[in-house]
């Protein structure tokens, strides 16, 4: 059996989790100087969540037809990503048109993301063991500042972001690129992620795969610890 010498982690729902839709909307309202009473805020936040407008949150309950094609390619290009998520947000009436861009900007802010309780501990231990560590994410913006703000970047050797390469998981080429960036044969690499289809696609190039549950941070205190059992 090949010894695992490197780990590729998904970002959203694996290492960190986006804030709640209510917290997200409240922060955007504050940033734009817009007032909204609490009852309306709660209703609007729930509607935004149903619309799938929060990146890293739930998928749309019903995807508007004019956004269907964009949904499929949203993580291949930064412009696609912004257009898709601001377009989904616009399905929900809000008191100020500037809020749609404010919401998108908030979703990229470090304050909007919270690491899972065991993320730093697991990354630090892997780093101590000399394991090569990468973050491989379907995303439309640069997540490196978020990792830096939460003190996780010190453990990460490489970041492979879909929008920077015009590829998105489960395309085998993105996983192959991640392995090359780690300097390892895919057989020596473990992919960890919350999406069994997208992240599980790593097995097509010969990586191992360890799924984790996409849960709020307070409901998944030690979901990453099994990684340490898989790595030599």
- Predicted pLDDT of residue 94: 97
Query: What are the residues facing 209 on neighbouring strands?
Result: 191
Q: What is the pLDDT of residue 202?
A: 98
Q: Using one digit for the tens of pLDDT, what is the confidence trace for 134-148?
A: 999 999 999 999 999
Q: pLDDT > 70: what percent of the chain?
A: 100
Strand partners, 193: 211
Give the sign of the dihedral formed by CA 60, CA 64, CA 68, CA 70: negative
pLDDT for 81 equals 98
**What mean pLDDT do residues 200-222 have?**
97
Mean pLDDT of 207-218: 97
- In the predicted structure, residue 213 carries a pLDDT above the cut 90: yes
Is residue 75 within 8 A of residue 81, CB to CB? The reply is: yes
Confidence at residue 36, expressed as pLDDT on a 0 to 100 scale: 96
| pLDDT band of 59, cuts 50, 70, 90 | very high
Strands (E), 106-179: 113-115, 132-137, 158-161
Residue 2: the pLDDT is 83
Task: Give mean pLDDT, residues 52-72.
Answer: 97
CA quadruple 7, 10, 14, 17: dihedral positive or negative?
positive
In the chain, the domains with their CATH numbers are 6-17+113-230 (3.40.50.1000), 18-112 (no CATH)
- Tens digit of pLDDT for each residue in 153-201? 999 999 999 999 999 999 999 999 999 999 999 999 999 999 999 999 9
What's residue 167's pLDDT?
A: 98
Give the confidence band of 45 by pLDDT, cuts at 50, 70, 90.
very high
E strands, the chain, are 6-9, 16-18, 113-115, 132-137, 158-161, 189-193, 208-211
Of the candidates 47, 28, 22, the one whose C-alpha atom is nearest the C-alpha of residue 98 is 28
- Residue 37's alpha-carbon distances to 95, 207, 218, in angstroms, are 11, 50, 28
Q: Which two tokens stand for residue 162?
A: 């879909």
HSE-up (13 A, CA, CB side) for residue 169: 28
Q: How many Cα atoms within 13 Å fall on the side-chain side of residue 52? A: 15
Q: What is the mean pLDDT of residues 208-223?
A: 97
Q: Is the pLDDT assigned to residue 1 strictly greater than 80? A: no
Helix, strand, or coil (residue 92): coil
pLDDT of residue 171: 98
Q: For 4-19, how does the pLDDT look when each residue is reduced to its tens digit (9 = 90+)?
A: 999 999 999 999 999 9
**Could you tell me the end-to-end alpha-carbon distance of the chain, in angstroms, rounded to an integer?**
11
Question: What SS3 class is residue 12?
Answer: strand
Predicted pLDDT at 232: 72
> What pLDDT was estimated at residue 122?
98
CA 16 and chain centroid, separation: 7
Cβ(101)–Cβ(86) below 8 Å: yes
The fraction of the chain above a pLDDT of 90, given in percent, is 99
Encoding tokens for residue 71? 């949904």
What b/e readout covers 114-153, taking b as 16+ CB neighbours within 10 angstroms?
bbbebbbebbebbeeeebbbbbbbbbbbebeebbeebebb
């Amino acid at each position: 059996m090949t010894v695992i010498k490197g780990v590729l982690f998904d970002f959203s729902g694996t290492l960190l989790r986006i804030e709640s839709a209510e917290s997200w909307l409240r922060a955007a309202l504050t940033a734009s100087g817009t007032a909204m009473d609490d009852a309306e805020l709660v209703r609007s936040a729930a509607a935004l969540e149903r619309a799938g407008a929060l990146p890293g949150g739930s998928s749309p309950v019903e995807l508007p037809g004019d956004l269907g094609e964009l949904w499929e390619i949203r993580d291949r290009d930064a412009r696609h990503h912004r257009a898709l998520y601001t377009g989904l947000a616009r399905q929900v009436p809000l008191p100020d048109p500037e809020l749609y861009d404010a919401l998108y900007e908030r979703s990229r802010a470090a304050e909007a993301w919270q690491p899972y309780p065991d993320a730093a501990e697991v990354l630090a231990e892997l780093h101590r063991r000399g394991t090569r560590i990468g973050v491989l994410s379907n995303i439309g913006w640069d997540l490196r500042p978020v990792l830096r703000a939460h003190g996780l970047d010190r453990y990460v050797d490489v970041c492979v972001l879909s929008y920077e390469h015009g590829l998105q998981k489960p395309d085998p080429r993105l996983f192959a690129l991640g392995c090359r960036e780690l300097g390892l044969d895919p057989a020596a690499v473990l992919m960890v992620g919350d999406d069994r289809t997208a992240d599980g696609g790593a097995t097509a190039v010969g990586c191992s795969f360890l799924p984790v549950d996409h849960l709020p941070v307070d409901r998944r205190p030690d979901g990453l610890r099994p990684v340490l059992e898989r790595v030599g």
